[in-house]
Amino acid sequence: MIGVLLLNACDQGRQEDRSPEPTAQTEAPAPEEAEVEVEAEDALAEEETPPPPPEVDTPEEAVDTSARVAILGYHRFSESAKISKRHLPTTIHVEKFRAQMQALKDNEIPVIPMSDFLAWRRGEKHLPPFSVIITIDDGYRSIYEQAFPVLKEFEFPFTLYLYTNYLEGGGKTMTHAEVLEMVAAGAEIGSHSVSHQDMRNRGRRSAEKHAAFLKEETAGSRRILKERLGVEPATFAYPYGAYDDEAMEAVKDAGYEAAFTIRGQKVDWETALFEAGRYIVHGGIDQPFDLAVSSKIPSGAVGATNLLKETITDEATGEEKPLIQVSPAYGSVVKDRRPEMRVDLSGIEGLDPDSLSMEISGVGSVEAVFDPETKVYAYRTQQRLRMPEYWVQVSFKRSGKRQQETVRWKFQLDLVGLYLDLAKAELSTQRADESNEDEDLVAQPSSQESE
Ligand SMILES: [Zn+2]
C-alpha cells in the first residue's frame, strides 16, 4: 500500500510537467506585459480624472478593488547539497526557499493568508495593493520538516493543499499530528482531492459514475479533511491544475469558495474564482518566482548579494561608510517626478565602465551615463514617473572578473503630496486668472467680444 502511494506521489511531479495546462514559464510573459500596460493606464486615470464619489448604497467603506495578489505554489523541499536529476522539478532546495522568503521580507511584500483574499473578494476586508499568498501542495513530509521551520521564522501564513489518500500514508507523507501542529501555528487547509487524479479524465466511467467520482474528489475530500483535521477547507486546488466545466461545477457544488490552477497569473478583483492562477515554483528555474514578484523585485536579485549593504573604511576619518551611495536614497520618498538615478561607484576597485548597465522597474533598460572622473553613473528619466514605487538596478563587472555584481535600491514617489501641490497651484492660478479677467472686463469690456 505504502509503495503504491509513494509511486503515485513520485509520478505526479512528472505528470504535472507533462500536463496540458500551460505552466508559469510558458504562459506568463503575455499576461505580465498586459499588466504593465494596465498599471500605466491606471496611474494615468488616477492622475487625470478626479476620484469617483463614494458609493451611496454601501454602508461600510468599499474595499480597494485594484489590489493584486500573486499566489506561489510549492511542492517539495530538499536539504541535499545539490538538487540532481533524481529530484522532481518541483523540488526546491530549502536554502533557495529561504532566500525567496527573505526577498519577500526585504522588499516589504506582504504575505497574506488565503482567508484574507477570500474576505477581500467578499468585500469584507482590505488588501494591500500587492501581496503574496504561499500555498504548498500534496502533503510531503519535507513540508513539515523543512519549509515549516522557515515559514515560522518569517511568520508567514500559508495554505496546505492536501489529498486525503496521501495524508497519513507513511513514508514521505505527513501525519495528521504534523498537519495539526501547522494548523495550530496558523496554516490553513485546502483540498487537493481524494486521489489526485486528472479530473477531466473519464476513463471508462459512465456519465453517472464520473459525476459520482467528481463528487467524491470534491465534497468527499472536504468531508474527510473535516473529519480527520477538524477544519473545513474553503478552497480547492485541481490536481495537475487540470479541470473542465464538470469538474469546476463539482467544486462549486461541494461548497468551496475558490479553486486554483497552475497557470502563472496574478489574481485580482476580476479573476474567475474557480480558475484562479498560481505561480508554481520550480527548484531549478527562477522565472516563475521572479515573474510573480516582478513589480517589486528585479529578476535575478533573489539570493544575490546586494552591494548596497557593504561598507568600507573612510581613509580620511577612519569611519565606516557605505561602499556605494545612491540617489534617490534607498527607501526615500521623492516629489520630483523626473528624479535623477545616480550611483557613486568610486569605491569599486577595477570597475569596467563598458560593463555598466542600468534597469528601472516599469521602464526597462536605460542609457545611463558614466563620468570617468567622479565614477558616478547616472540617468534622468525622459518621461515623468507615474507609479508609487520604483526599483533601480545597476550591474557591472570588475576588469578581469567574469562575475556580474549588482546594486539595487527602491524609492517611492510622493504622488499624493504631488497632487495636493498641483491642486493648490491650480487653485491659485485660477484665482489669479479670475482677478485678471475681472480687470480685463472692467478695462476693455467691448474688445473681448469683438475678437
Ligand atoms: Zn499535486
The DSSP result for 241-295, as a single string, is G---HHHHHHHHHTT-SEEE-S----B-TTS-TTSB--EEPPSS--HHHHHHTTT
The three three-digit cell numbers of residue 386, written as one number: 507615474
Which of 284, 233, 241 is CA-nearest to residue 88? 284
CATH topology agreement for domains 2-51+65-292 and 307-415:
no
Dist. CA 352 → ligand 1 center (Å): 48
Which residues have beta carbons under 5 A from ligand 1 (an ion)? 137-138
Cα 21 to middle of ligand 1, angstroms: 13
pTM: 0.67
Distances from the Cα of 251 to the Cα of 216, 218, 238, 277, 450, angstroms: 10, 6, 9, 16, 74
Distance 100 CA to ligand 1 centre (A): 21
| Cα of 129 from ligand 1 centre, angstroms | 29
pLDDT of residue 83: 59
What is the C-alpha separation between 181 and 184, in angstroms, rounded? 5
Q: 160 alpha carbon to ligand 1 midpoint, in Å?
A: 11
Q: At residue 88, what are phi and psi to the nearest 5 degrees? A: -75, 155
State how far the Cα of 40 lies from the Cα of 357, in Å rounded to an integer.
Answer: 24
Tens of pLDDT along the chain (451 residues)? Answer: 443 333 333 334 334 443 444 443 433 333 333 333 333 333 333 344 555 555 555 445 688 899 999 999 999 999 885 656 666 778 999 999 999 999 999 888 999 999 999 999 999 999 999 999 999 999 999 999 999 999 999 999 999 999 999 998 888 999 999 999 999 999 999 999 999 999 999 989 999 999 999 999 999 999 999 999 999 999 999 999 999 999 999 999 999 999 999 999 999 999 999 999 999 998 878 889 989 998 888 776 777 666 777 888 877 888 888 888 899 988 889 988 899 999 999 989 899 999 999 988 888 889 999 999 999 999 998 888 888 888 898 989 999 888 778 888 888 888 777 677 767 777 776 666 655 544 433 333 333 333 3
Taking the centre of ligand 1 as the mean of its atom positions, its distance from the CA of residue 240, in whole angstroms, is 6
| Cell (9 digits) for 266 | 496574478
Q: How far is the CA of 167 from the centre of ligand 1 (A)?
A: 12
Cell of 441: 472686463
Provide the pLDDT for residue 248. Answer: 98
In the reported structure, the alpha carbon of residue 139 is separated from the centroid of ligand 1 by a whole-number distance in angstroms of: 9
| Burial label, 225 (beta-carbon count in 10 A; 0-12, 13-18, 19+) | buried
Compute, in angstroms, the gap from residue 138 CA to the centroid of ligand 1. Answer: 5
pLDDT at 116: 98
The half-sphere exposure of 340 on its side-chain side, counting CA atoms within 13 A, is 7
CA distances from 226 to 4, 148, 164, 180, 229 (A): 25, 22, 11, 12, 5
Matching residue, cell 497557470: 263
The span from the CA of 356 to the CA of 96, in Å, is 27
| CATH topology for the 307-415 domain | Immunoglobulin-like (2.60.40)
Domain spans, the chain: 2-51+65-292, 307-415, 416-441
Whole-number Å distance, alpha carbon 253 to ligand 1 midpoint, is 21
Task: Please give the distance, rounded to the nearest whole angstrom, from the Cα atom of residue 161 to the centre of ligand 1.
Answer: 8
Dist CA 33 CA 37 (whole Å):
7
Find the 51 Cα to ligand 1 centroid distance in Å.
Answer: 44
Q: What values do phi and psi take at 371, rounded to 5?
A: -95, 110
- Bridge-based pairing of strands 130-138 and 325-327 is unpaired
User: Where does 2-51+65-292 sit in CATH, by number?
Assistant: 3.20.20.370
Q: What local confidence, expressed as pLDDT, does residue 278 receive?
A: 97
Distance 67 CA to ligand 1 centre (A): 28
